[in-house]
Amino acid sequence: MSGDERKRRAGLDDPASSQAIAADIARVVVSRKRIAVRVRELAGRIAECYGQAELTILAVLTGSLIFLSDLIRQLPLKMRLDVVSVCSYPGQATRSQGPRIALPPGASLSGRHVLIVDDILDSGSTLRALQQAVALMDPASLRTCVLMQKVRPDVEDRPAADFVGFEVADEFLVGYGLDFDHLYRNLPDLCVLKPACYRRGAGATGREDA
Ligand code: IMP
Ligand code: MG
């Protein structure tokens, strides 16, 4: 693929905004077009599921933000929005300390129909920890929606999401909200980076506020 084509696909063909980011992409895994179609479908299924009930979305920072903003604008429902951060690698930790949940102070999910929205279901430890924390808050119902689910036959007893956008292979993705070393969230497509980019980074692939 030519450099110009790569930039066009990355949505960065404006010379003013064009930097090295487009050159870092090895391949587009899910295009913005496919994402848009699927997000509309997911919104339709969610709306059908909740009917007239008032929904409370609990969005997992930071990776879900782009997905969240597209999804909720397609939901013709009364809904509230809360955000939660999940930190598995506090400070300088390089090994997971287990997910720690930070809900906004005063957040009350008691009696609410809660839908957890996250970017990607990988090992499932984030989702499991969140489900356990929210269940303690006595919600009226609790479901989960992820844009992607990685194929991980090696993981036993992974929690299942109720709404899944795409099944993807077990490789590290960036774009549409997902980062590598805090970069690439602004890519409009879901992409794999060139191997040299992953080597250049800090090697953190599941840090806090992932
Ligand atoms: P878990 O393993 O399912 O708990 O996922 C841990 C966190 O790592 C999630 O919150 C994701 O945001 C992040 N994550 C997992 N896979 C990827 C990826 O391919 N790209 C970017 N972030 C990822
Ligand atoms: Mg996440």
pLDDT of residue 92: 56
Contact 88, 207 (CB under 8 A): yes
Residue 157 to residues 7, 63, 84, 153, Cα–Cα distance (Å): 40, 23, 24, 10
CA 174 to ligand 2 centroid distance, Å: 12
Q: What is the pLDDT of residue 88?
A: 73
**Span 83-136, pLDDT tens digits:** 999 977 666 565 667 788 988 778 889 999 999 999 999 999 999 999 999 999
Active site residue 189: no
SS3 at position 66: helix
Give the residue, by CA position, lying nearest to ligand 1 atom 7: 206
**172 CB under 6 A from ligand 1?**
yes
Q: Which domains does the chain carry?
A: 3-199 (3.40.50.2020)
**Proximal ligand: closest to the CA of 30:** 1
Parts of the chain with a pLDDT under 70: 1-19, 89-96, 201-210
Task: Assess whether the C-beta atom of 63 lies below 6 angstroms from ligand 1.
Answer: yes
Q: What pLDDT is stored for residue 135 in this prediction?
A: 95
H/E element, 204: none
Supply 42's token pair.
């997911």
In the reported structure, the alpha carbon of residue 106 is separated from the centroid of ligand 2 by a whole-number distance in angstroms of 22
Whether the model pTM is above 0.75: yes
Q: Bridge-partner residues for 163, per DSSP?
A: 145
User: How many angstroms separate the alpha carbon of residue 203 from the centre of ligand 1?
Assistant: 13
208 pocket-lining for ligand 1 (C-beta < 6 Å): no
Q: Which residue is it, tokens 């008691």?
A: 110
What residue owns the CA closest to ligand 1's atom 12? 210
In the reported structure, the alpha carbon of residue 209 is separated from the centroid of ligand 2 by a whole-number distance in angstroms of: 7
Catalytic residue among 119, 122, 179, 189: 122
Closest by Cα among 112, 106, 173, 24 to 10:
24
**Nearest residue CA, atom 17 of ligand 1?**
172
State which of 122, 167, 190, 205 you would mutate to test the pocket of ligand 1, scoring each by most atoms of that ligand within 8 A of its C-beta.
122
